[in-house]
Amino acid sequence: MKPRQQRIALIVGGLAVLGIAAVLVLNALRSNLEFSITPTQVASGEAPKDRVFRVGGMVKEGSLAREADGVTVRFVVTDTAREMTVNYKGILPDLFKEGKGVVAQGKLGADGVFVASEVLAKHDENYMPPEAAHALDEASRRAVNEQAAQSLKQ
């Protein structure tokens, strides 16, 4: 091989190695991503099947129920448009309260109940992640639009 052909082969080989490395890194990142969605998105079928994801919203007032064992709880998460039931076995964060923001991580069960492996409570009344605030605003807007459409039909 001539020196020019050797350089071209070396460059092509290097690009191939970089491409393979990039594909492996992106695949690893994609498999470890946890999606954060709202109850409205879960109801519309956007929830990943058999994958861990996060659901965020507000804990519905009066929905918190504790089992006799003291560590199993059931509560409802709402985004003002839709609601979903969450089951969690473990100790809840100190800031967890009804009417406050929450993010639960887990999987959606076959019965439509979200089985959480971790529950995170909003740590400050004035703070809400931009994604959660946007999702709540979108859900509110959809609910208002649906109500307006229903009132026009009547």
Residue 113 in any domain: the answer is yes
> Average of pLDDT values for 133-137?
72
Res 10: pLDDT: 93
Overall number of domains in the chain: 1
Domain that holds residue 134: 34-153
- Confidence bin at 127 (pLDDT 50/70/90): low
Question: How many CA atoms, within 13 angstroms, populate the side-chain half-sphere of residue 79?
Answer: 29
Residue 73 in any domain: the answer is yes
Residue 96 in any domain: the answer is yes
d(CA 135, CA 108): 19
Residue 138 in any domain: the answer is yes
95-117 tens-digit pLDDT: 888 888 899 999 988 888 999 99
Residue 117 in any domain: the answer is yes
Residue 79 in any domain: the answer is yes
Q: What is the CATH number of the domain that holds 57?
A: 2.40.50.140
- The set of residues, in sequence order, having a beta carbon less than 8 Å from that of 74 and lying 6+ positions away, is 63, 64, 65, 67, 85, 86, 87, 88
Q: What percentage of residues in the chain have a pLDDT greater than 90?
A: 35
pTM above 0.75, yes or no: no
Residue 102 in any domain: the answer is yes
20-66 tens-digit pLDDT: 999 999 888 776 665 678 888 888 888 877 788 889 888 999 999 99
Residue 90 in any domain: the answer is yes
Q: State the chain's mean pLDDT as an integer.
A: 84
- The set of residues, in sequence order, having a beta carbon less than 8 Å from that of 54 and lying 6+ positions away, is 34, 35, 36, 37, 103, 104, 105
